[in-house]
Amino acid sequence: ARIKGVEFVKSSGRAKDCPKDDRPEFAILGRSNVGKSSLINALVHKKEIALTSKKPGKTQLINHFLVNKSWYLVDLPGYGFAKAPEAAKMDWCSFTKEYFLNRDTLVAVLLLIDASVPPQKIDLDCANWLGRNNIPITFVFTKCDKMKVAKGKRPDENIRDFQEIIRQNYKIHPPWIMTSSVSGMGRDELLLHMSQLRNY
Ligand code: GDP
C-alpha cells in the first residue's frame, strides 16, 4: 500500500459537479479540528494536499484528490464548528447528503473521531445517519497518542465508550482503526484497509 503520487483534481460545490469517473473513492469526514488535515498529510506525506483544501472558500467544498492515478481521497467539509449556531452545526448533512446518497463509486466513509475527548453527540448522530442510509463507514480514531488529560479519560477508554454507545444504540458494526498523525500510528493499517476494500 504505497503512495506514489497524489494530484488535486477538483473542488465541487455540488454532488453532481464531482468528477465523472469510475475509479473508487474514500470520503474523509469529521468534526472541525478532529485532525483531518493532519491525517491527510500523514497519509500522503505531502503538505500541499490538505493545505489546498484548507484555503478559505475551499473548506465548504468537496475536494477530490487522485492517488496513484487509481483511486480518490475526497475531503469533505467538516461539521460541528464550535462557533456555529446550534442550527448550523448539523448543516453538513444538507450539503453532503446528496453526495453520500448518489455517489456510486464511494467505497466507504472514513469517519474521523477524536479519541482525546469523550463521545460527542454530533459524531454519534453522523454515524447513525450514515448507518441508516447503508453507507459503509470506517471509524478512524485520531489523536491516539494523547496522554490522559486532567480528569479526562485515556484515548482507549474514550474509544471503548464510543463503541459501546454505537453497539447499544445503532445496528452497525463498522471496522475501526486507531491513528496518530504525530506518531504515525495506524497509517499503514489504514492504507492497507483501503486497498482491501478497493479489491473486495
Ligand atoms: P482539522 O480541522 O480537522 O483539519 O484538524 P487539524 O489537522 O488542523 O488539527 C487540529 C489540531 O489538532 C491541531 O492543533 C493539530 O496539531 C492537532 N492534531 C491533529 N492530529 C493530531 C494527532 O494525531 N495527535 C495530536 N496530539 N494532535 C493532533
Q: What is the pLDDT of residue 48?
A: 59
pLDDT in tens, 128-157: 999 999 999 999 999 999 986 667 899 999
| pTM of the complete model | 0.92
Closest protein CA for atom 9 of ligand 1: 35
**Among 35, 9, 15, which Cα is nearest to 104's?**
15
Closest protein CA for atom 19 of ligand 1: 35
Output 94 or 122, whichever has higher pLDDT.
Answer: 122
> How far is the C-alpha of 24 from the C-alpha of 170, rounded, in Å?
27
How confident is the prediction for the chain on average, in pLDDT?
A: 88
> How far is the C-alpha of 12 from the C-alpha of 105, rounded, in Å?
16
To test ligand 1's pocket by mutation, which of 79, 181, 190 has the most ligand atoms within 8 angstroms of CB? 181
Q: What is the CATH number of the domain that holds 121?
A: 3.40.50.300
The closest-lying atom of ligand 1 relative to the alpha carbon of residue 34 is 3
Type of residue numbered 124 = L
> Would you say residue 34 lies in a domain?
yes
Task: Provide the grid cell at 64.
Answer: 477530490
> How far is the C-alpha of 66 from the C-alpha of 184, rounded, in Å?
22
Domain holding 161, by residue range, is: 6-198
Whether complex ipTM tops 0.85: yes
Output 11 or 91, whichever has higher pLDDT.
Answer: 11
Q: What is the pLDDT of residue 80?
A: 72
Helix axes 92-102, 121-132, angle to 10 degrees: 30
* % residues pLDDT > 90 (the chain): 70
Q: How many domains, in total, are found in the chain?
A: 1
Task: Provide the grid cell at 72.
Answer: 480518490
Closest protein CA for atom 20 of ligand 1: 35
> How far is the C-alpha of 198 from the C-alpha of 73, rounded, in Å?
12
Distance 94 CA to ligand 1 centre (A): 26
To test ligand 1's pocket by mutation, which of 33, 112, 177 has the most ligand atoms within 8 angstroms of CB? 33
CB 107 within 8 A of CB 26: yes
> Would you say residue 136 lies in a domain?
yes
Which residue's C-alpha cell is 482491501? 196
> Would you say residue 119 lies in a domain?
yes
- Residues lining ligand 1, Cβ inside 6 A: 30, 32-38, 78, 142-143, 145-146, 180-182
Task: Provide the grid cell at 152.
Answer: 479526562
Q: What is the pLDDT of residue 136?
A: 97
pLDDT in tens, 60-98: 789 999 999 999 999 998 887 655 555 555 555 566 889
Output the DSSP codes for 113-130: EETTS---HHHHHHHHHH
Q: What is the pLDDT of residue 145?
A: 95
> Would you say residue 71 lies in a domain?
yes
Non-local CB neighbours of 126 within 8 Å, separated by 6+ positions: 29, 79, 92, 111
**Among 37, 58, 59, 57, which Cα is nearest to 48's?**
37
Distance 113 CA to ligand 1 centre (A): 11
Non-local CB neighbours of 156 within 8 Å, separated by 6+ positions: 115, 144, 178
Count CA within 13 A, CB hemisphere, residue 16.
0
Distance 38 CA to ligand 1 centre (A): 6
Q: What is the pLDDT of residue 44?
A: 86
> Would you say residue 1 lies in a domain?
no
